Amino acid sequence: MSNPPEIDRDAPLIFIVNAASGSEGANAKRDAIEAALNAAGRAGELRFALAAELAGVARAAAAQASATRSAVIAVGGDGTINAVAQAAHAEGCAMGVVPQGTFNYFARSHGLPAEPGAAVRALLQATPQAVQVGCVNGTVFLVNASLGMYPALLEDRETWKARFGRSRLVALGAAFVTLMREHRQLRLRIEQGGVVRSVRTPTLFVGNNRLQLEQVGLRPSPSIDAGSIAAVMLRPIGTLTMLWLLARGAFGSLGEADDVESFAFRQMTVSLSRGAGTRRVKVAFDGEVAWLHAPLQFEVAARPLWLLMPAAASAADLACEGAR
């Protein structure tokens, strides 16, 4: 593993703010971040960007952070954090997180506070720590990547959020509507650990976040987050069974269902059983949806992401505080 990037405490931190995420307005976010910086006597630069601009803004910020021995900070939900992580991972610079999304799995799993001022104060005392990330065809994901029914669920969820706002209840309602529709079964050829098999499934879900997996009742092995990621597949099922599985996931018992298969892996190749291997597939990663060419190569990234994290003791305290 390479050495962590050095941080110059006098270099301004670069904040990439999703102007559309979360319930707080842009001015409130700016005020909270600037108040925390001023109280600590630290310099910072805020760059606001809409979703379509995030990738470009993040790349420019990561290049500047690398050149000045600073860090780029994502302010937003999982999608915003992913856009910044793509740039920071490619550049090799440190990144931080001020979570503003609905679920905030990545931030919560690393003990980062949700309130903007507290998050910035924690960042100012943090050091870069190596964090495992997954990749699908070279695209980094922090929390999960999937194909089949799950990308459709995410698209429906965004539509519902635009109409009814951001909340877990809205997300659950969108999931219910998605599952009520008929979904075609994917016919996949999976190569993993030297074994090739053909499967039929409505969705293939790959998770890199222990918290998310455990929350729905899947108990990943100790290797998750420590060299492996998890695959979750549903066997071919009808709508009623799908709704029953949704309920089990909501109550944290999905792993006990006979219609669910899960396993840990480090590298896995997924091809479509029908058609040429260059067909495009709709893939979701960290809340974003894109078209990728098959075959899909899922793997643990060779290099870590350097995440600004509090010292071990304070990280544990923050995790406990978030659980209360």
d(CA 4, CA 7): 9
Read off the pLDDT band of 313 (50, 70, 90). very low
At 160, is the secondary structure helix, strand, or coil?
helix
User: CATH 3.40.50.10330 spans which residues of the chain?
Assistant: 13-132+304-323
Closest C-alpha among 14, 109, 25, 29 to residue 70: 14
How large is the greatest C-alpha to C-alpha distance in the chain, in angstroms? 60
User: CATH 2.60.200.40 spans which residues of the chain?
Assistant: 139-300
Average pLDDT of the chain, as a whole number: 81
Contact (Cβ atoms closer than 8 angstroms) between residue 94 and residue 88? yes
Instruction: Give the residue, 32 or 175, on which the prediction is more confident.
Output: 32
Per-residue pLDDT tens over the stretch 62-118:
999 999 999 999 998 888 999 999 999 999 999 999 998 777 889 988 989 988 899
Would you identify the CATH topology of the domain 13-132+304-323?
Rossmann fold (3.40.50)
CB environment 176-207: b (16+ within 10 A), e (fewer): eebbeeebebbebbbebeeeeeebebbbbbbb
Average pLDDT over residues 207-226: 76
Per-residue pLDDT tens over the stretch 272-289:
876 544 588 889 999 788
- β-pairing, 296-300 vs 267-272, is antiparallel
**132: Cα separation from own chain's centroid:** 12
d(CA 270, CA 296): 5
Contact (Cβ atoms closer than 8 angstroms) between residue 319 and residue 106? no
Per-residue pLDDT tens over the stretch 189-202:
999 988 999 998 88
What is residue 100's predicted lDDT score, i.e. its pLDDT? Answer: 85
Would you identify the CATH topology of the domain 139-300?
Tumour Suppressor Smad4 (2.60.200)
Q: Which of 97-101, 161-165, 299-303 has the highest mean pLDDT?
A: 299-303
d(CA 253, CA 165): 28
What is residue 179's predicted lDDT score, i.e. its pLDDT? Answer: 55
For residue 138, CA distances in Å to 19, 72, 276, 298 come to: 27, 21, 20, 9
- What's the pTM value of the predicted model, to 2 decimals? 0.81
Read off the pLDDT band of 178 (50, 70, 90). low
d(CA 123, CA 270): 38
